């Protein structure tokens, strides 16, 4: 059997973190078994579905590297196929017309509630002759669900879960206006797309019993179901925006790398021993359903940030320079020239050791690109206004005559100068840092000087003198 999984978001908003993890698990399982990963946009809620949300979902999946096979399937476009299945079940006596009016159903539920009974459709039109139908009431089509016995889900995560059929009612398949319900559309689409494994949040588990009844009525094979626990916040409460339940695009804007986010989402509810750093290729090799736990996992932005720092340090300088360029262009107000881009690339080995996000990396790198004269922050200005200017002025004369501009030579000359003037090295290095970066915090200052080059370094020193 060739494995086919699917990710089926509703385009009513962004690709949120829970959805991204569901997509990741489906992607990994399909790739692990040499199968297909399909994308279905469940856009039947026409009032809330938007093209902007569709675009955001597709953009988010693409950014995360979760490429699907074939073209996306749009559920709304398949409404006639869904209705066809409902009509076939009707013709086979496995479904029936229900003429109960909305008011009649409301009264039924109110009576059930008053008597402490579960509020379920009572089957009042299940065995009645349609000739008894009241005039002017358009019918719905309901599934004639089994009344006796049990329905069981053999779930790869939750185990065997069973419900008595008396707890399930005859669900609506086709509304009175002829539009299919979600339950019908999902089953028909999964069947027609040859989906073999449904991996989704455990909030869908109660739907699965009804969907299995529909699979059985249609005579179709039931896919393997895996209902994964939801993601909670660090406090154990349901994940919300205050915890970080944002869209994938928000994490991109905050400077997270897609490979770090995928690694972090993978470890939310799935494990492989004590391994924490799991690149995508390794994840594909290792991922299977038995590694998914049954307890909710907790989303922690601090842990994600630390993991992102690891991926920043491991990333190639070419790759980082390319994705950093637009952020730096925004900070300096203009696209980077070739010389500026080359300077940033040279600086990255020192910069990426001290950053955990692309935002931090860009902010730490931007001083290399700023036009002279630099604007000094308050601490740098204070340092140069006090006792930092005198040694800097004397050392600048030595620098101007220095033939070798490598950081080792620069540091050696600085040490000689400090010793000869009975200074600690910091008394020279800090004014240098303030003059060259506009700040009192930077990568090693002699590394900075080599990257800036002789002309730019001397120019910045002379500006403050």
* Measured distance CA(197)–CA(5) in Å, rounded: 5
What pLDDT, on a 0 to 100 scale, did the predictor assign at position 123? 81
| Structural domains in the chain, sorted by start | 78-228 (3.40.50.620), 248-368 (1.10.1160.10), 378-464 (1.10.10.350)
Q: Can you say whether residue 273 is alpha, beta or left, with left for phi > 0 and alpha for psi between -120 and 50 degrees?
A: left
Query: What is the side-by-side order of every strand in the sheet holding 172-174?
Result: 95-98, 140-143, 172-174
What pLDDT, on a 0 to 100 scale, did the predictor assign at position 45? 86
* Residue numbers of the chain with a pLDDT score lower than 70: 240-245
Q: HSE on the CB side for 246, CA within 13 Å?
A: 14
CB 231 within 8 A of CB 264: no
What pLDDT, on a 0 to 100 scale, did the predictor assign at position 234? 79
What pLDDT, on a 0 to 100 scale, did the predictor assign at position 243? 60
What pLDDT, on a 0 to 100 scale, did the predictor assign at position 238? 75
β-pairing, 297-298 with 224-228?
unpaired
Query: What is the side-by-side order of every strand in the sheet holding 224-228?
Result: 159-164, 150-155, 224-228, 197-201
What pLDDT, on a 0 to 100 scale, did the predictor assign at position 102? 85
Give the CA distances from residue 431 to residues 32, 378, 395, in Å, rounded to whole numbers and listed in that order.
Answer: 56, 13, 11
pTM of the predicted structure, to 2 decimals: 0.91
Nearest residue to 5 (alpha-carbon basis) of 184, 183, 194: 194
What pLDDT, on a 0 to 100 scale, did the predictor assign at position 240? 67
Give the CA distances from residue 164 to residues 41, 154, 168, 324, in Å, rounded to whole numbers and listed in that order.
Answer: 32, 15, 8, 57
pLDDT tens track for 248-275: 899 999 999 999 999 999 999 999 988 9
Of the listed 147, 238, 241, 424, which one is catalytic? 241
* Measured distance CA(379)–CA(17) in Å, rounded: 40
> Is 144 one of the annotated active-site residues of the chain?
no
CA angle 26, 61, 241 (to 5 degrees): 95
What pLDDT, on a 0 to 100 scale, did the predictor assign at position 244? 57
Enclosing H/E stretch for 358: helix 358-365
């Amino acid at each position: 059997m060739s494995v086919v999984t699917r990710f089926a978001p509703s385009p009513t908003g962004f690709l949120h973190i829970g959805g991204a993890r569901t997509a990741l698990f489906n992607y990994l399982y399909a790739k692990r078994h040499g199968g297909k990963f399909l994308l279905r946009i469940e856009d039947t809620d026409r009032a809330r579905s938007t093209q902007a949300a569709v675009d955001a979902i597709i953009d988010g999946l693409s950014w995360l590297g979760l490429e699907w096979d074939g073209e996306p399937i749009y559920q709304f476009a398949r409404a006639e196929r869904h209705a066809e299945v409902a009509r076939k079940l009707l013709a086979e006596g496995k479904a029936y017309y229900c003429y109960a009016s909305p008011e009649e159903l409301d009264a039924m539920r109110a009576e059930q509630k008053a008597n402490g009974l579960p509020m379920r459709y009572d089957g009042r039109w299940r065995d009645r002759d349609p000739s008894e139908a009241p005039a002017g009431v358009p019918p719905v089509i309901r599934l004639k669900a089994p009344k006796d016995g049990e329905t069981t889900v053999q779930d790869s995560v939750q185990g065997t879960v069973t419900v008595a059929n008396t707890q399930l009612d005859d669900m609506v398949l086709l509304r009175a206006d002829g539009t299919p319900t979600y339950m019908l559309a999902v089953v028909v689409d999964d069947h027609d797309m040859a989906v073999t494994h449904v991996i989704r949040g455990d909030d869908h588990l109660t739907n699965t019993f009804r969907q299995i009844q529909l699979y059985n009525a249609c005579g179709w094979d039931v896919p393997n179901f895996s209902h994964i626990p939801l993601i909670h916040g660090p406090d154990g409460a349901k994940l919300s925006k205050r915890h970080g339940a944002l869209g994938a695009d928000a994490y991109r804007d905050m400077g997270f790398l897609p490979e770090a986010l995928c690694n972090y989402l993978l470890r939310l509810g799935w494990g492989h021993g004590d391994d924490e750093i799991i690149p995508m290729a390794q994840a594909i090799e290792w991922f299977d359903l038995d590694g998914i736990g049954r307890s909710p996992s907790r989303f922690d932005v601090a842990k994600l940030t630390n993991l992102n720092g690891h991926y920043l340090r491991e990333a190639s300088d070419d790759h980082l320079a390319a994705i950093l360029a637009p952020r730096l262009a925004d900070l300096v107000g203009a696209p980077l020239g070739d010389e500026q881009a080359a300077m940033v690339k040279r600086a990255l080995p020192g910069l990426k050791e001290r950053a955990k996000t692309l935002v931090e990396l860009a902010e730490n790198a931007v001083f290399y690109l700023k036009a002279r004269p630099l604007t000094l922050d308050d601490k740098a200005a204070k340092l140069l206004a006090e006792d930092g200017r005198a040694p800097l002025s004397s050392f600048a004369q030595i620098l101007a005559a220095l033939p070798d501009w490598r950081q080792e030579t620069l540091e050696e000359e600085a040490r000689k100068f400090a010793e000869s003037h009975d200074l600690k090295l910091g008394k020279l290095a800090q004014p240098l840092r303030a003059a060259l970066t506009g700040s009192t915090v930077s990568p090693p200052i002699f590394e900075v000087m080599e990257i800036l080059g002789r002309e730019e370094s001397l120019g910045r020193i002379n500006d403050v003198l």
